[in-house]
Chain A
């Protein structure tokens, strides 16, 4: 079945550690997105990518990094510079980056600090 796969489902980070969240899609979508969701809040955009080898900062990019070397993959690294990383991280993709194309979400990764 086509879809978006995020892994791991749960992740724990130690102080000073970088961790990478995986996002893979087999929908042949051009655009991919990373969001962060805190309890009782909406989704906030971290990074997005319209095409391979290109990505743009969202509203809360500080302390995060991404790469888009393949169309199917858009991994997110949470660096030690992100002082409050505990959150629910959601990856999404859409057919393209034009308005009107719905974004489809993976099941998310819950990140906590040890």
Chain B
């Protein structure tokens, strides 16, 4: 299986920007997913990167470098509702089995 690393927790103030890094070691690599999970709820899909570079979706952007085994999720103009855990996940093979990181808890303060 893969070794996926994310910071455990990050704190930022409302309106600020936060960057969540994710590093991984994998074989049979076929893209990287980011999910958001509010406390006590199910994860919801945020983004998928299969090519190197930056994908922007409104306030959220995701970057991938396959050669470096590195991705980040950028959250801009932080809102209180962005307080959640952010999980990166990598397919382990072409069957779409996902290996999840432990998640990064983002705390947004007023």
Is A100 located at the chain interface by the 8 A CB criterion? yes
Shortest B94–chain A CB gap in Å is 6
* Structural contact, A107 and B41, CB atoms closer than 8 A: yes
A100 to B29, CA, bound (A): 11
Return chain A residues, CB-CB under 8 Å to B4: 42
Interface residues on A, range: 20 to 34
Q: Is the Cβ of A97 less than 8 Å from the Cβ of B96?
A: yes
A-binding residues in B (CB < 8 A): 1, 4, 30-31, 33, 41-45, 48, 50, 87, 89, 91, 94-103
Q: List 26 A-B contacts (CB under 8 A).
A: A31-B96, A33-B98, A42-B4, A42-B100, A42-B101, A42-B103, A43-B43, A43-B87, A44-B100, A45-B97, A45-B98, A48-B97, A59-B1, A96-B96, A97-B96, A98-B95, A99-B50, A100-B31, A100-B50, A102-B48, A103-B33, A103-B96, A105-B42, A107-B41, A107-B42, A108-B42
